[in-house]
Amino acid sequence: MKEMQKETSKQTHYGQFGGQYIPETLASELTRVAQAYDKYKADPEFLVEFHDLLDNYANRPSLLYYADKMTQDLGGAKIYLKREDLNHTGAHKINNVIGQALIAKRMGKTCLIAETGAGQHGVATATIAALFGMECEIFMGKEDTERQKLNVYRMQLLGAKVHAVTSGSMVLKDAVNATMQEWASRIDDTFYILGSAVGPYPFPEMVHDFQSVISKESKQQILETEGKLPDAVVACVGGGSNAIGSFADYIDDKEVKLIGCEAAGKGVDTDQTAATIERGSVGIFHGMKSLFLQNDDGQIDQVYSISAGLDYPGVGPEHAQLAELKRAQYVGITDDEAVNAFEYIAKTEGIIAAIESCHALAYVMKLAPTMRKDQIIICTVSGRGDKDVASIAKYRGVDIDE
Ligand SMILES: *Cc1c(COP(=O)(O)O)cnc(C)c1O
């Protein structure tokens, strides 16, 4: 696969990372997407429609909630939670889906396709397809369809067709491959809504821009309530979309620490991990150059995390660059630490947060006590945890009837 070098979009590379490593069949379509995005990203009419849907359909702006009890209990920095769990469909994913679906509509597409792991991105895509009256097909590893039956049915209720992908290890990375293949075979009427800050350009740029609403809001909110910027912003990292959205508006504010929390699974030093930045190496996969968990021959490793949303063997190219430049710091959080945080945040703040988000909260539990009381942490709660209740019960050996 050779790299296509068409400079239609500004943000094609992030240092040595990013780019567009794709089969010829998709090259001209990706150029059209990049051109369309370049045209609309600064178009006032497009932006009005995007923000109108964010506000009036997805329930933005999301709260910046002061977690008083958690702050008192941990006895250090003031903790604010950016509540993406309160968005329609229960996570940050809807921000990006609305943006990309609007581009698709303007390009005259009638069908939306998407990959999904746990089902969150598939549900968000099926939701917007229903709202826009578009056809929708979702590709999901067969393993995942069996683990996430409720989300499969949810997508079907929303009118989507769900395909169980049986290639490879039948998980998220195989679903991405299958969606790319499907797209190549029907580019005329179809748009691929990629669910994270990964893939060939212009996807990482689009996802960055659409998710950056998180940090634009949080900055305004913290300046209103505290009159100053936070000392640290913390978010979990799978492919990196909620984290890049949480970081975006602070990247130039060098005094704000940016911390991404990866899933260490059973431990960063075990082979049951998904800590891509800590353990990975440079490679090319899913259309981009980035960091991946892979063997010496460049074969992508099987990854593991209790959290299906963080169970991805790569990371978005902008995070790979932020790590290389040391502008952001990336830390591994184990299953155990995340489950402890899941229970802690439920009991202290009355919030059942997604197990993905609990990787960020677990780090806040370590970080806050090391900071002064006049310092501020903003932690993104990327999604709600209803979907995780049964698996947390199982992790604790509690038998509940589903
Ligand atoms: C999908 C998902 C994630 C991981 O994806 P990113 O692109 O890294 O944000 C994190 N949290 C929730 C709730 C998710 O649904």
pLDDT tens for each residue of 245-286: 999 999 999 999 999 999 999 999 999 999 999 999 999 999
Q: Of the residues 93, 109, 173, 219, which is catalytic?
A: 93
CA 126 to ligand 1 centroid distance, Å:
17
Asked whether residue 104 is assigned to any structural domain, the reply reads yes
Which DSSP helix (H) or strand (E) runs through 127? Answer: helix 120-132
Asked whether residue 225 is assigned to any structural domain, the reply reads yes
- Mark whether 382 is an active-site residue: yes
Is the torsion defined by CA of 376, 382, 383, 388 positive or negative?
A: negative
* Pair 25, 143 in one domain: yes
CA 298 to ligand 1 centroid distance, Å:
25
**pLDDT band at residue 212 under the 50/70/90 scheme:** very high
* Pair 371, 249 in one domain: yes
SS3 192: strand
Which DSSP helix (H) or strand (E) runs through 340? Answer: helix 335-349
Measured from the CB, is residue 241 less than 6 Å from ligand 1?
yes
* Pair 103, 232 in one domain: no
Write down the pLDDT at residue 7.
45
Question: Residue 227 belongs to a domain with what CATH number?
Answer: 3.40.50.1100
pLDDT, the chain, mean: 95
Write down the pLDDT at residue 400.
84
* Pair 180, 105 in one domain: yes
Asked whether residue 402 is assigned to any structural domain, the reply reads no
Measured from the CB, is residue 236 less than 6 Å from ligand 1?
yes
* Pair 20, 132 in one domain: yes
* Pair 29, 75 in one domain: no
Is 6 a residue whose pLDDT tops 50? no
SS3 content of the chain, % helix, strand, coil (to 5): 45, 20, 35
Q: Of the residues 218, 307, 382, 387, which is catalytic?
A: 382
Asked whether residue 400 is assigned to any structural domain, the reply reads no
* Pair 65, 49 in one domain: no
* Pair 171, 294 in one domain: no
Shortest-distance atom of ligand 1 to CA 91: 13
Longest dimension (CA), the chain: 57
Q: Could you say which of 145, 177, 207 is where a domain stops?
A: 207
Mean pLDDT on 376-400: 95
Asked whether residue 266 is assigned to any structural domain, the reply reads yes
The per-residue pLDDT for range 178-201, each reduced to its tens digit, is 999 999 999 999 999 999 999 999
Nearest C-alpha neighbor of 280 from the set 261, 297, 295: 295
* Pair 364, 290 in one domain: yes
Q: Is the peptide bond before 317 cis (omega within 30 degrees of 0)?
A: no
Measured from the CB, is residue 238 less than 6 Å from ligand 1?
yes
Nearest C-alpha neighbor of 218 from the set 84, 59, 363: 84
Please enumerate in sequence order all residues whose Cβ is within 8 A of that of 114, keeping only pairs 6 or more positions apart, or say none.
97, 121, 122, 125, 136, 138, 139, 179, 192, 193, 194, 195
Asked whether residue 2 is assigned to any structural domain, the reply reads no
* Pair 255, 271 in one domain: yes
Write down the pLDDT at residue 270.
94
Asked whether residue 9 is assigned to any structural domain, the reply reads no
* Pair 237, 376 in one domain: yes
**pLDDT band at residue 344 under the 50/70/90 scheme:** very high
CA 266 to ligand 1 centroid distance, Å:
19
Q: Could you say which of 160, 190, 207 is where a domain stops?
A: 207
**pLDDT band at residue 147 under the 50/70/90 scheme:** confident
Is 393 a residue whose pLDDT tops 50? yes
Mean pLDDT on 216-243: 98
Asked whether residue 3 is assigned to any structural domain, the reply reads no
Domain that includes residue 178, residue range: 14-53+93-207
Mean pLDDT on 160-187: 95
* Pair 128, 185 in one domain: yes
Q: Could you say which of 207, 234, 256 is where a domain stops?
A: 207
What total of structural domains would you count in the chain? Answer: 2
Write down the pLDDT at residue 308.
86
Encode burial over 220-230: b for 16+ CB neighbours within 10 A, e otherwise.
Answer: ebbeeeeeebb
